[in-house]
Amino acid sequence: MPENASELIDSFGRRHTNLRVAVTDRCNIRCFYCMPAENVLFKARDELLTFEEITRFVRVAVKLGVNKIRLTGGEPLVRQNVPELVRQLRAIDGIEDIALTTNGMLLADHAQALYDAGLHRLNISLDALSKETFERITRRQGLDQVLEGIFTAQRVGFSNIKLNAVAMAGITEDEVLPFGHFARQHDLEVRFIEFMPLDADDAWQRDRVLPGEQIRSLLEEGIAPLTPAPRLDPSQPATDYVFADGRGKIGFINPVTQPFCQDCNRLRLTAEGQVRNCLFSTEEWDARAIIRGGGTDQQLAQLMQESITAKKAGHGIDSDEFIKPQRAMYQIGG
Ligand code: SAM
Ligand code: SF4
């Protein structure tokens, strides 16, 4: 591949530097906004890219300007030996940042090894601090395990941990203030994410979205005023705030009520090696066929570029022409 291979710039001028890599589609819980309750059709293990295949893909992506990687899934920590993948990725010149998104269920066991492998940024998903709501959403038990995972991660050295909390009308309003207090007590940022139409059961409806602005009002009325935090990365999906007394950071990811597609710099690689240019893409580009079919790095680079060239301006959730992707969140990589 030529050294001056072009960057991943789409037809709207957005430069793609951020790659989300799903390492598995499996999961140890069953959040209703992501997975079906039962009869989940997981990919056969030999369909998933190996660590070496992922690393090769990333190496090519880095030549095209990618410098940030996030490992996700499914639940990444159900795959064996993720710290080894972190080590392989860290060895690639040009990667400035590696992060991982996890549901935290297995984190207490793996936090130290991940940290030692060189992972220093963690997002932990937790939608409720009450057991009842946690179990209603995840259809599993495990709140204490997740809390233990969070505190273990802090103990081994992870700082600036972000908690991702999906917000759903009629379900999580009562979680908002406890999360505000939790952020203040434990030096964490809690990020509320609006429920998106990416569930497997077609349960999403516009009126089940709990808008970020409503959550902000609840926090300001119930705890303290929030003041905007400096926006360090213009393409970050979250708008961050701090409580006016300086204790506790809160972020809002409002893809439904305040879409941020115009600043999107993300592309995705699914666990079985398909490139996606958007969470809501209805099309995929088959990198695994190139990787396993003896294709060249140049062909892989072209595939990434084709996918980025085809990227639409936005997800269009509110448009009459919106088509919900056939694949649910756990199959895409959040
Ligand atoms: N299993 C890991 C976890 O839950 O953190 C990583 C994968 S998960 C698909 C990534 C993120 O997507 C999680 O924070 C999850 O809450 C979020 N997510 C999943 N489905 C969603 C939906 N329909 N709307 C909004 N966020 C969603
Ligand atoms: Fe699993 Fe994460 Fe999906 Fe929940 S959001 S079912 S933890 S992959």
Q: How many domains does the chain have?
A: 1
Q: How much of the chain exceeds pLDDT 90, in percent?
A: 91
CATH number, domain of 100, equals 3.20.20.70
Residues 9 and 15: their CA atoms lie apart, in Å, by 4
Grade residue 245 by pLDDT with cuts at 50, 70 and 90: very high
Q: How far is CA 297 from the centre of its chain?
A: 26
Ligand 2 centroid to 34 CA: how many Å?
A: 6
Q: Report if residue 120 sits inside a domain.
A: yes
Domain assignment present for 85: yes
Instruction: Give residue 6's pLDDT band: very low, low, confident or very high (50, 70, 90).
Output: confident
| DSSP reduced 3-state for 308 | helix
Cα 196 to ligand 1 centre (Å): 10
Tell me, using a 6 A CB cutoff, whether residue 176 lines ligand 2.
no
The answer as to whether 3 is a domain residue is no
Residue 7 is assigned to a structural domain of this protein: no
pLDDT for the residue 4: 45
Domain housing 53: 18-332
Atom of ligand 1 lying closest to residue 204 CA: 23
Evaluate if residue 244 carries a pLDDT over 90: yes
Instruction: Work out the angle at residue 267's Cα, subtended by the Cα atoms of residues 262 and 268, and round it to the nearest 5 degrees.
Output: 140
What spacing in Å lies between the alpha carbon of 239 and ligand 1's midpoint? 18
Position in ligand 2 atom list of the atom nearest CA 101: 2
Q: Which of 3-7, 116-120, 225-229 has the lowest mean pLDDT?
A: 3-7
Show the tokens assigned to 60.
């090519």
Rounded-to-integer distance, Cα 56 and Cα 89, Å: 9
Asked if residue 137 has its Cβ within 6 Å of ligand 1, the reply is no
Cβ–ligand 2 distance for 139 under 6 Å, the answer no
Give residue-wise pLDDT tens across range 301-311.
Answer: 999 999 999 99
In this predicted model, what pLDDT tens digit does every residue of 29-78 receive, in sequence order?
A: 999 999 999 989 899 999 999 999 999 999 999 999 999 999 999 999 99
Do 154 and 109 contact (CB within 8 A), yes or no?
no
The answer to the question of residue 328 being in a domain is yes
10 part of a folded domain = no
Beta-sheet pairing, 68-72 with 266-269: unpaired
- pLDDT, one tens digit per residue, over 163-196 is 999 999 999 999 999 999 999 999 999 999 999 9
Ligand 2: distance of its center to the CA of 16 in Å?
Answer: 25
* Greater model confidence, 41 or 147: 147
Ligand 1 atom with the smallest distance to the CA of 195 is 24
In a domain, 1, yes or no: no
* Percent of the chain predicted with pLDDT > 70: 99
- For the Cβ of 140 lying below 6 angstroms from any atom of ligand 2, the answer is no
- For residue 268, give the nearest of 198, 170, 188, 166 by alpha carbon: 198
Mean pLDDT computed over 72-93 = 98
Q: Taking residues 266-287, report their average pLDDT.
A: 97
201-241: pLDDT as tens digits: 888 999 999 999 999 999 999 999 999 999 988 899 999 99
Q: Is residue 241 part of a domain?
A: yes
Ligand 2 atom with the shortest distance to the CA of 34 = 3
